[in-house]
Amino acid sequence: EAGVVQSPRYKIIEKKQPVAFWCNPISGHNTLYWYRQNLGQGPELLIRYENEEAVDDSQLPKDRFSAERLKGVDSTLKIQPAELGDSAVYLCASSLRTSMETQYFGPGTRLLVL
Amino acid sequence: GESVGLHLPTLSVQEGDNSIINCAYSNSASDYFIWYKQESGKGPQFIIDIRSNMDKRQGQRVTVLLNKTVKHLSLQIAATQPGDSAVYFCAEILPDNQGGKLIFGQGTELSVKP
């Protein structure tokens, strides 16, 4: 069974530029998560989707971050414009039904903002 | 706010020895805990989980112990191998009425000496 797929794996951009990350969850997983992981720290939740509905986006900086999961399968996370402090690894995860189940993570996208 | 934390940021062990990684959590209402392994450049990988109605759970070479009285979690790795070198995170899932989020601790870096 394929795991969570993310692309790109690495991205280097200049500040104020836009950037987008893509995630395809494990087949059949209804719940999808985007996390941000700063160096030396654990991942922190940005947004959680149940099917196509964003059920928890309280930690998403909405002035510059946006996300979508239009058909309830794959998802895109966008930053516009990017700031230096956005440099981090952006992880996508999925779980079968709810957040009370095991979450499986993708390899992440490593973003460097110059 | 409440969070999961780890006592030691680094742990160095000899190949073949047993490893013990500790974790303290503060949310007494959490009833599901997960250990993740994260290798360099990869996303967190599920190792083992435990629910609060258990105090011990064993997997292949790994054992998780839960002490709800003192809110302590540990991961034991038997016969540690070089491939076990990674950062280990404990994580708790908050109850649904508190958002149902997966909260990660800081992480412990395990280094296995050959």
If you compute the radius of gyration of chain B from its CA atoms, what whole number of angstroms results?
14
Instruction: Please tell me the total count of domains within chain A.
Output: 1
3-state SS, residue B83: helix
Which residue does chain A place closest to B33, by CA atoms? A102
CB atoms within 10 A of CB B73: 24
* pLDDT at B59 > cutoff 70: yes
pLDDT score, position B2 = 43
Q: What is the pLDDT of residues B15-38, one digit of tens each?
A: 999 999 999 887 899 989 999 999
Domain residues for the domain of A14 are: 5-113
Residues of A with CB under 8 A from a CB of B: 4, 33, 40-45, 48, 56, 58, 91, 93, 98-100, 102-108, 110
- A14-41 pLDDT tens trace: 999 999 999 999 999 999 999 999 988 8
Angle subtended at Cα B105 by Cα B93 and Cα B111, rounded to the nearest 5 degrees? 130
Q: What is the CATH number of the domain that holds A88?
A: 2.60.40.10
Q: Domains, chain B, ranges and CATH? A: 4-113 (2.60.40.10)
For chain B, list the strands marked E by DSSP.
4-6, 10-14, 19-25, 32-38, 45-51, 56-58, 62-67, 72-77, 86-93, 102-104, 108-113
- pLDDT value at position B97? 84
User: CA nearest A55 in B: which residue?
Assistant: B99
